[in-house]
Amino acid sequence: MPELPEVETMVRDLRLRLPGRRIRSTEVYWDRIIGYPDAESFASRIRNRRVATVDRRGKFALFRLEDGGVLAVHRGMTGSLLLRLPGEPEDRFVRARFHLDDGSEMRLDDSRKFGRLFLVDDEANEYRPPWTRLGVEPLDSSFTAATLAGRLAGRRAAIKTALLNQAIVAGIGNIYADEALFRARIHPERSAGTLSKREVGRLRTAITDVLMGAIEQRGTTFSTYRDVDGASGGNQRQLQVFHRHGQPCFRCGGEVKRIVLGARGTHFCPGCQRL
């Protein structure tokens, strides 16, 4: 599933190519891919509007339009935004297609169909979109140990579960939660509110490091993630615990384990991450 680094990689690529482009028209092939408004209004309202900037908030890519509106993309489980030239072979699971004014097209390709597109003209009044309800951005300077400690204080949920809660910290999913907890040497089942100041400090650093490292590698491709040109990321080679259960821990040589926590597969080293 695309998490912050995969969305950031996409946003950085699109930022070089999309600002200034006008969206001539849009075809929606699967109505439910449109999160807001309905598919018909989406297609008619996006017509002829120009992209000014490309940003990210959590796992959302935000295309700010010149007239003040915002087109948001959430990639769900398997969604990729692909920039293609005319005549390039069709992708397999195209759910929506944007025709741009330079003749190229942007395709939302999504086999599992959990991706969503939103078009909002007035974020404050029209509709309260999900990206306005997210927690702290882990790459912002406001993401300090004190901020993280404040957000975890009093929470009884397992720390792994708390990290996946987008209202606490935005953008972390299953892969980077497991990787960050391993680096910070914190057991995923620890109750979030019981972490010491030192542990929270280690966790904050670990989160920043795993996310920045993954962005450098252009994301992690586990099954389906691709960048805007359809290429895979490279971070899967850096993973320390994710999907390494049964293999030796790189730090202590013990066996990496997998448990299910909050219905999510969770990977950790019982030797390095004690309860």
Between 99 and 251, CB nearer to Zn ion: 251
Which residue, judged by CB position, is nearest to Zn ion in the bound state? 249
The CA-atom distances, in angstroms, between 200 and each of 81, 153, 236 are 35, 10, 26
Cβ atoms within 10 Å of 154's Cβ, excluding its own: 8
Place of tokens 């080293």: 269
3 is catalytic: yes
Q: For this structure, is 138 an active site residue?
A: no
The HSE-up count of residue 250 (CA atoms within 13 Å, CB side) is 11
- Does residue 188 have a cis bond before it (omega within 30 degrees)? no
Determine whether 264 is an active site residue. yes
Please report how close the Cβ of residue 92 comes to Zn ion at its closest, in angstroms: 40
Of 65 and 272, the one with the shorter C-beta distance to Zn ion is 272
Nearer to Zn ion, 254 or 265 (CB): 254
Q: How far is the CB of 249 from Zn ion (least distance, A)?
A: 3
Contact present, 200 and 145 (Cβ < 8 Å): yes
Closer to Zn ion at the Cβ: 176 or 182? 182
Q: Give the residue carrying structure tokens 């390494």.
A: 244
Closest CA to 37 of 134, 132, 116: 116
76 or 271, CB closer to Zn ion? 271
Helices (H), the chain: 4-17, 39-46, 145-152, 159-164, 174-184, 197-216
The amino acid present at 130, given as its one-letter code, is P
Smallest gap, in angstroms, from Cβ of residue 190 to Zn ion?
A: 16
Residues 65 and 49: their CA atoms lie apart, in Å, by 7
CA angle 156, 143, 173 (to 5 degrees): 60
Tokens representing 178 are 């497991």
Q: Which of 3, 6, 8, 105 is catalytic?
A: 3
Q: Where are the beta strands (DSSP E) in the chain?
A: 22-28, 34-36, 49-57, 60-65, 70-74, 80-84, 94-100, 105-109, 116-120, 257-261, 264-268
**Please, what is the minimum distance in Å from the beta carbon of residue 75 to Zn ion?**
32
Please report, as ranges, the residues that interact with Zn ion according to CB under 5 A: 249, 251-252, 254, 269, 271-272
Whichever of 150 and 254 has its CB closer to Zn ion, that residue is 254
Catalytic choice (15, 17, 45, 264): 264
Least Å distance, CB 251 to Zn ion, is 4
Q: In the annotation, is 257 catalytic?
A: no
49, 56, 57, 59: the catalytic one is 59
Residue 106: beta bridge partners? Answer: 83, 98
Residue 272 CB, nearest distance to Zn ion (Å)? 3
Q: Which residues are catalytic?
A: 2-3, 59, 264
